[in-house]
Chain A
Amino acid sequence: MKLKLHVWRQKYGKSKGYFEQHDVDYVSEDMSFLEMLDVLNEKLLKSAKEPIAFDHDCREGICGCCSLTINGNPHGPEKATTTCQLHMRKFKDGETVYIEPFRAKAFPVIKDLVVDRTSLDTIIQSGGFISVNTNQPQDANALPVDKKQADLAMDAASCIGCGACVASCPNSAAMLFVSAKVSHMGLLPQGQPERKKRVLAMVNTMDAEGFGTCRNFYECEAACPKEISVRFIARMNRDFLKASLSKED
């Protein structure tokens, strides 16, 4: 397969970025998107050029490290798939492919396609935890959990924190990410003591980190490699309103 790649290059955060064109002819249908870039980088290194910087880690679709906005879609055109799990057979021979970093003010570019997603960690630090006393663990069955609630909490917990929701949102809102994190604890009994404090803290941190506002485009849900539903956003709005009206301090 041949492809016409337009890759975003940016030497460092503050420098001006530009698209660099690469005509590649080695692409096999069985390669993943990242493997396709690996081969391109090897070629660049052999000709003593700067390789393209991009994020990756597990390459199994579970770590949330890989990013890339491919032809305008975070993680590419395939539904429920991370970039590392995206196969080149999803592209047509001779196709033009634009590769850009995840774009948001809260995700500043570090180099080329690598962005700094620390602001998601900052949100987690502000409330994405439960407080447990250290001691003998209690019997697991002593805490009844409704099966449906547990399933829903699991759906929310499947968020890998990649930031595709932010990248896909025309307003760079982080509502899907934050709502998944708020919900997966808020749905379980262990998350109840800090439920109000958590949603208020995480939403306020989200606002302070410079993410935009949700306008219910639902692009995040479509871009999410874990198919997290925007219903979690509605749930978070509900929780936030309740907590705002009834906080104790």
Chain B
Amino acid sequence: MGILSYLQSSILSKIVMAVTGAMLVGYIVIHTAGNLLIYSGQDAINSYSQFLHSLGPVLWIARIVLLLALILHIWTSIVLKVSSNEAKPEKYAVKNYFKAKLTSRTMLWTGVAVFLFVVYHVSHLTLHITNPEHVVNQMYLPHGLHLSSAASALSYERTDVYRMVILGFQNPLISLVYMIAVTIVGFHLNHAVQSMFQTLGLNHPKYFPTIQKSSVALSFIIIFCLISIPISVLLKLIGGNL
């Protein structure tokens, strides 16, 4: 079995879920912060995107690590779900929960929904498979430089992320799907973040209540920040000129 033998241990599997989950949460936080640059205008977000692409191998390492974390997270959750179903072959006729919340009981389903959304999201904005017409380049000029020839103009082109996002969200259907999806991401994080600390053994009366509150707060902040972008686009608060 080698490296996958951790799956035979319930606690090791949980720790893998927590660690890979932590990496994905870290990514979502950075991604959300980056997305908010759209409020600083076209140049701000396009420069940020250009900066990320200029990282070259570092960007690819980050992508590969995140992809591996995602695959491990999903694969482990499937194995755990199967073994948990086996552990309770006969369900109760009457169910009554004291502490299990809707968010904790639906982790698998919100996880599936988030995964489907990520596949679509990446196809749209990274791989440019769906709606390739949203992808155009932006001409930019570093300070102090003047455009002299057509040849040098080409070297000052970059992907116009700003336009891609605005054009995408001007489609109400894409906006709606996005808003539903990020709400589900928030739902998933609502339980996930505090659960991660508990699994890693970081539960102490001194700080765990704060962790639990922060987990809920973080999920709402993420939902609020991400949802605000399509709403601003639909209300023409940003990108009204496109």
Contacts and interface: CB of A to CB of B under 8 A. Distances in A.
A203 B87 contact: no
Contacts of A105: 86-89
Interface in B118-157: none
A212 interface: yes
Nearest to A214: B14
B11 interface: yes
Interface string B100-126: 100011010000000000000000000
Contacts of B105: 170, 217
Interface in A173-212: 173, 203-204, 206-207, 210-212
SS of A interface (majority):
mixed
Contact of B87 (A168, A204, A212, A222): A212
Nearest to B91: A103
A172 B87 contact: yes
Given A72-B92, A231-B203, A244-B12, A216 B198 contact: yes
B84 A213 contact: yes
Contact of B95 (A72, A211, A230): A72
B205 interface: yes
B14 A213 contact: yes
A19 interface: yes
Contacts of A19: 93
B57 interface: no
B201 A234 contact: yes
Given A170-B105, A213-B14, A216-B191, A203 B9 contact: yes
A73 B96 contact: yes
A237 B87 contact: no
A215 B94 contact: no
B19 to A, nearest CB: 11
Interface in B1-27: 8-15
Contact of B86 (A207, A210, A219): A210
A194 to B, nearest CB: 18
B199 interface: yes
Interface in A26-60: none
A214 B208 CA distance: 18
Contacts of B107: 215
A236 B80 CA distance: 19
Contacts of A203: 9-11
Contact of B15 (A69, A212, A237): A237
18 contacts: A72-B95, A77-B96, A103-B92, A105-B87, A106-B87, A170-B100, A171-B88, A207-B9, A215-B80, A217-B100, A218-B99, A223-B98, A234-B197, A234-B198, A234-B202, A236-B11, A241-B11, A241-B15
Interface of B: 8-15, 80, 83-84, 86-100, 104-105, 107, 191, 194-195, 197-205, 208
